[in-house]
Chains A and B, each alone.
Chain A
Amino acid sequence: MSFPTWEVELALHARILRKDPVASKEVYLAFMDPISRVLQHELHCLPDDAYDSAVDAVLVYLRAPERYDDRKRLSTYLTHIAKRRAVDRKRSSQARTLREEKFVGKFELGRPNPKETMERSVEARDTVRMLEQSDLREKEHKLLEHMLQGEKSSRVLGKVLELKPMSDQQERQEVKRHKDRLLKKLVRIGKEDSDDKA
């Protein structure tokens, strides 16, 4: 599906300004597919991220349609917003992955090194013992287990945490909150353990 013609865009924009109640649905119909395709092809976004960014763009326009200058193409305006949102999404996802990798790195065993095998199995045994004796709740154990297995999807982690139904953005924030809390607990447990050894 391609972008509508300029005439169609202008007619749709005029209906939006008149607050025609059905016009907003038609904006979704006209722009969601072509914008998502641009994001997937040009920015290599995953379909879910592309759809999220396209919805962001449509909502930015629909909330304040008067900000759009109709001397330019509406498709260009919307695609520009969607691309910016997609880039922001990628950056925050990369930063999150980096943070998680650093954090997981503290606990994962990695590839076995013959010289360090013995030392590492002792470390692993101690880590497991430490976690078993910790005050981590069952859900936190499950969350950690999934994270150690490389799970990064907020939707999957939200299910693990048995979060009630909520918007994607709220779910991401809620999962992040749980992860941050778990990280703090793990840091505290690690600190307590090293204090005990000292």
Chain B
Amino acid sequence: MTKPEWLELAARRSKDEPWMLGHAFAKYRQLEGMSEEELAKELGCSVETLNWMSLCRRPESDHFKEQATAIAEEHGVNDRILRRVLGRLKIVEVFQDSSNDGSANQGGVLMAAQDREPDEEPQT
């Protein structure tokens, strides 16, 4: 696929749309203090592929695994790594939400935890 001139602009604008993967990637990078290049490296792809993925819809809880896999397959990325990145972000978001409203959102944490890889150690 030839890289169009508008790709970087579209990917940059996706950061402002909470339903887009670009927004999730930007949040994850901020959380981990990562550059675009570093995130691309973690996902095993180029920055251009990261930009293309940014234009996709962020997988939703109900179909998380299936949707993340579809995105990963479309872009030749390891779906386990993509799910791990998004799963980790979701856990942080759930914790942030629960600390914002002052109550523990246990259902949300469990849902996010279910999206984690079975062999992944819990973060301390």
Residues of A within 8 A of B (CB): 19-25, 28, 32-33, 36, 47-48, 51-52, 54-55, 58-59, 62-63, 167-169
CB distance from A62 to the nearest CB of B (A): 8
Q: Which residue of B lies closest to A25 (CB)?
A: B55
Name the segment of B57-65, B87-95, B98-106, B114-122 touching the other chain.
B57-65
CB distance from B92 to the nearest CB of A (A): 21
Tell me, in angstroms, the Cα distance from A157 to B97 when the chains sit together.
Answer: 37
Contact B5 A19 (CB under 8 A): no
CB distance from B27 to the nearest CB of A (A): 14
Task: Classify the interface of chain A: helix, strand, loop or mixed.
Answer: helix
Contact A21 B4 (CB under 8 A): no
Contact B12 A19 (CB under 8 A): no
Contact of B55 among A20, A28, A48, A54 (CB under 8 A): A28
Q: Which residues of B contact A19 (CB under 8 A)?
A: 57, 60
Contact B74 A32 (CB under 8 A): no
Contact of B57 among A24, A33, A52 (CB under 8 A): A24
Contact B56 A24 (CB under 8 A): yes
Contact of B12 among A21, A24, A168 (CB under 8 A): A168
Q: Which residue of A lies closest to B73 (CB)?
A: A22
Q: Which residues of A contact B10 (CB under 8 A)?
A: 28, 32, 51, 55, 58
A21-B71, A59-B17 are contacts. A51–B58 as well, Cβ < 8 Å? no
Contact A167 B4 (CB under 8 A): no
Tell me, in angstroms, the Cα distance from A32 to B70 when the chains sit together.
Answer: 23
Contact A24 B9 (CB under 8 A): no
Q: Which residues of A contact B60 (CB under 8 A)?
A: 19
